[in-house]
Amino acid sequence: MAEGDYRVADISLADFGRREIELAEYEMPGLMKTVEEFGKDKPLAGARIAGSLHMTIQTAVLIETLKKLGGDIRWCSCNIFSTQDHAAAAIARDGSAAVFAWKGETLEEYWECTMNAITWTTPDEGGDGPDMIIDDGGDMTLLIHEGKKAEDLFEKDGTVPDPASTDNAEFKLVLTMICRTLKTDPKKWNKIADRFIGVSEETTTGVHRLYQMQESNSLLFRAINVNDSVTKSKFDNLYGCKHSLPDALCRATDVMLAGKKALICGYGDVGKGCAFAMKAAGCITYVTEIDPICALQASMEGFPVVKFETVQSVVDIIVTTTGNKDIIRVEHMAAMKNNAIVSNIGHFDNEIQMEQLEAATTRFNIKPQVDKYVFPDGHGVIVLAEGRLMNLGCATGHPSFVMSNSFTNQTLAQIELWKERKTEKYQKGQVYVLPKVLDERVASYHLGALGVELTELTDDQAGYISVPKVGPFKPDTYRY
């Protein structure tokens, strides 16, 4: 393990990482154009930005974009299996950010990396925390909120968090860390909350958490929901998964997809991309859904919409996409055929009942992030990435071009939060979506790379449909 003001697996991988970063830059025109447009003005100058987002080659380009715009960056991954070690090495060696990430972290190491990424080694007058965060799933956001809550209780009556009060293994670690900071700096999290400008959140699950906190009036700072920018959710979630699901399945198992029966659990944007990918590969593809609108969409695209139990004994490949918990239960897996492939492309690890599966089976490791769990009767299922995000655990995630869309949104969100930090445009405790004009700008940044020629409205045509000639072209209520 290589360490400085960073912790990565192997710093000697940095040259490899740098070469791949240079390739990715060519495929990420949105970020390159953002630097071209804003770089001279350094709109993030003075901003301390902490990131908790998959430490991949594409994220490396995001980090270096933020740095070129003036940001001071610290980073960790948001998943124990998603780091690309050569990417982390290049960022660490070249001083682009203080990065704490490697593939195959334990849960304890994961939360320690999160703590390191959110803690500057040179405190300023506002303390040792960040001004803003880029979060993917909400773990950094959670840590700040839980830390402040614990400090407030400790100051009130001396109450100290009890890690034994929860059965959740990760939350035990969070409470243990907070107990530690109460001893070393009992105002650490309050100082972070006081200086904090806001968060831009990358994914569906993290956004859901933010809206819950907004509803309960417990959200401590401003938030921008990047996930629901059209150029994120309709591109990363749909086209990214359409590419990375079959990539990960093939890298992990070398399975022939054509002719197999696949079950996609959920038909949101992620589920749509997955279902179409499996169909295109020649799979007989089924869908499960709770939402009648999504179910109707799936059916009218030719996908049989079924209950899980209807096909559990015949499907070969099962993919969860929902962001919910207990989608694939241990009794489902017990009923599956031998060597059925079970995987999750949602953010967290609780879509599949992994703890119950571990208790009911014997685990045999095939290769990193590919395991067979054998039931007492001798049949077993193949589980990818221990039920975590399989496209990053077993492959390299989404391709650079589609991540350029997502990360250009992230960059514009950070610029917005920092630029408006002293105004009332974004209120503490509220969640916002980037305005349509910025969504369209992100899309326009990418058109040249694809040779797109846009038709232009005449003045008369623009007036006829009551839109500005240069956009925005759709109302906020429009669903793409």
Active site positions, annotated: 54, 77, 82, 136, 202, 227, 232, 236-237, 241, 347, 398, 406, 410
3-state DSSP percent of the chain in helix, strand and coil, to 5: 45, 15, 40
Tokens of 43: 């709109």
- Is residue 213 within 8 A of residue 219, CB to CB? The reply is yes
- Is residue 239 within 8 A of residue 247, CB to CB? The reply is no
- Is residue 243 within 8 A of residue 398, CB to CB? The reply is yes
Q: Are strands 362-367 and 370-374 parallel, antiparallel or unpaired?
A: antiparallel
Q: Give the separation between CA 88 and CA 105, rounded to whole angstroms.
A: 13
- Is residue 227 within 8 A of residue 205, CB to CB? The reply is no
- Is residue 329 within 8 A of residue 387, CB to CB? The reply is no
Q: Give the separation between CA 152 and CA 258, rounded to whole angstroms.
A: 57
Q: Give the separation between CA 73 and CA 132, rounded to whole angstroms.
A: 10
Q: In sequence order, what are the residues at sequence separation of 6 or more whose Cβ sits closer than 8 angstroms to the Cβ of residue 187?
A: 151
Q: Give the separation between CA 87 and CA 10, rounded to whole angstroms.
A: 10
- Is residue 10 within 8 A of residue 16, CB to CB? The reply is no
- Is residue 160 within 8 A of residue 226, CB to CB? The reply is no
| 304-331 burial code (b ≥16 CB/10 A, e <16) | ebeebeebbeebbbbbbbbbbeebbebe
Rg (CA), the chain: 23
Tokens of 269: 């944007």
Q: Give the separation between CA 309 and CA 422, rounded to whole angstroms.
A: 54
SS (H, E, C) 290-303: CCHHHHHHHHHCCC
The DSSP line for 65-129 is HHHHTT-EEEEE-SSTT---HHHHHHHHHTTS-EEE--TT--HHHHHHHHHHHT--SS-BTTBSS
DSSP secondary structure code for residue 337 in this structure = P
